[in-house]
Amino acid sequence: MTFDRSLKIAPSILAADFADFGREVQAVEAQGADWIHVDVMDGHFVPNLTFGPPMVKALRRHVTTVMDVHLMIAPVDPFIEAFAEAGADILTAHIEAGPHIHRTLQAIRAAGCRAGLALNPGTSVQLAAPLLDMCDLVCVMTVNPGFGGQSFIESQLDQIRTLREMIGDRPIHIEIDGGVDPGTAPRVVAAGADVLVAGSAVFKGGSVADPAPYGANIARIRAANKA
Ligand code: DX5
Ligand code: ZN
């Protein structure tokens, strides 16, 4: 994985058919996905449950691009090794998930993964300042984590701009997660984002049997770059 700041669309499989993840991943990659975003939820840090390392490992066999694993779990540290072994390329942990995010980021890199730091909408991006050199990616949540299909939180645009200035020319991705669609995408890209997670806006209207809408949806979001 070499670093570049070109726009990347990362469909979230939270909006895919849970009984058919393998073929969903193949379909959305064939339709132009740059990364695959995998949402892990524990019913404790966030009020929803998804799946754990065995599912991520099973998915890995179908992902040919970057597998971007978003851990919405607390505690995080006891599970880092298992998710790394499951084949995650990027492991993103929340700054709010425990008292030792510095240790968590160290542990993610020590496990051989790229390290991501996620911040909830209620958390100032300034808190990331002492951690930036330990991060390969900062994920700015533009919804409260836990569910797909929520509305984009406008006030996060200022935070994205602030983070972009803080990062400067360091090789750190700015990822946006939540409510990304063809309307919000140009604005987050203008604010400095380079990785756009999108669940409902990518998977709506399509299926494994009829995947062309995935491609059209991705193209509409990617057009953000030219806006
Ligand atoms: C929310 C997840 C997101 C979610 C985004 O907690 O982290 O990745 O899938 O869904 P949309 O794009 O529908 O807002
Ligand atoms: Zn996510």
Judge contact between 27 and 211, C-beta under 8 A: yes
In a domain, 136, yes or no: yes
In a domain, 1, yes or no: no
In a domain, 2, yes or no: no
In a domain, 212, yes or no: yes
**The pLDDT of residue 227:** 60
pLDDT digits (tens, 9 = 90+) for 27-57: 999 999 999 999 999 999 999 999 999 999 9
The DSSP output letter for 122 is T
Has 87 been labeled as part of a binding site?
Answer: no
CA distances from 20 to 23, 36, 55 (A): 6, 15, 12
Q: Is the pLDDT of residue 225 over 80?
A: no
In a domain, 3, yes or no: no
In a domain, 71, yes or no: yes
Boundaries of domain holding 211 = 8-226
Q: What is the number of domains present in the chain?
A: 1
Dist CA 130 CA 201 (whole Å) = 34
Pocket-testing residue among 143, 151, 202, 214, ligand 1, by greatest number of atoms within 8 A of Cβ: 143
pLDDT band at residue 18 using 50, 70 and 90 as cut-offs? very high
Closest C-alpha among 141, 51, 149, 129 to residue 93: 141
Has 34 been labeled as part of a binding site?
Answer: no
Q: Which atom of ligand 1 is least distant from the CA of 199?
A: 12
* 41 CB near ligand 1 (under 6 Å): no
For residue 86, the domain's CATH number is 3.20.20.70
* 148 CB near ligand 1 (under 6 Å): yes
Q: 70 C-alpha vs ligand 1 centroid, how far in Å?
A: 10
Nearest-CA residue for atom 7 of ligand 1: 145
Q: Is the pLDDT of residue 127 over 80?
A: yes
**What sign does the dihedral 58-137-92-201 (CA atoms) show?**
negative
In a domain, 149, yes or no: yes
In a domain, 29, yes or no: yes
**The pLDDT of residue 2:** 82
- pTM as predicted: 0.98
Has 199 been labeled as part of a binding site?
Answer: yes
Q: Is the pLDDT of residue 213 over 90?
A: yes
**What sign does the dihedral 176-182-187-191 (CA atoms) show?**
positive
User: Mutual orientation of helices 212-222 and 21-30 as an angle, nearest 10°?
Assistant: 50
Q: 68 C-alpha vs ligand 2 centroid, how far in Å?
A: 9
Has 45 been labeled as part of a binding site?
Answer: no
Counting Cα atoms < 13 Å in the Cβ hemisphere of 184 gives: 22
pLDDT digits (tens, 9 = 90+) for 146-185: 999 999 999 999 999 999 999 999 999 999 999 999 999 9
Q: 33: exposed, middle or buried (C-beta count within 10 Å: 0-12, 13-18, 19+)?
A: buried
* 205 CB near ligand 1 (under 6 Å): no
Q: Is the pLDDT of residue 1 over 80?
A: no
Judge contact between 217 and 205, C-beta under 8 A: yes
* 150 CB near ligand 1 (under 6 Å): yes
Q: What is the mean pLDDT of the chain?
A: 97
For the chain, helix (H) and strand (E) counts, in that order, are 8, 8
pLDDT digits (tens, 9 = 90+) for 69-108: 999 999 999 999 999 999 999 999 999 999 999 999 999 9
Judge contact between 192 and 160, C-beta under 8 A: yes
- What percentage of residues in the chain have a pLDDT greater than 90? 97
Q: 227 C-alpha vs ligand 2 centroid, how far in Å?
A: 25
Q: Is the pLDDT of residue 226 over 80?
A: no
Q: 16 C-alpha vs ligand 1 centroid, how far in Å?
A: 11
* 177 CB near ligand 1 (under 6 Å): yes
- What percentage of residues in the chain have a pLDDT greater than 70? 99
If one counts every other C-beta atom within 10 angstroms of the C-beta of residue 165, the result is 9
pLDDT band at residue 224 using 50, 70 and 90 as cut-offs? confident
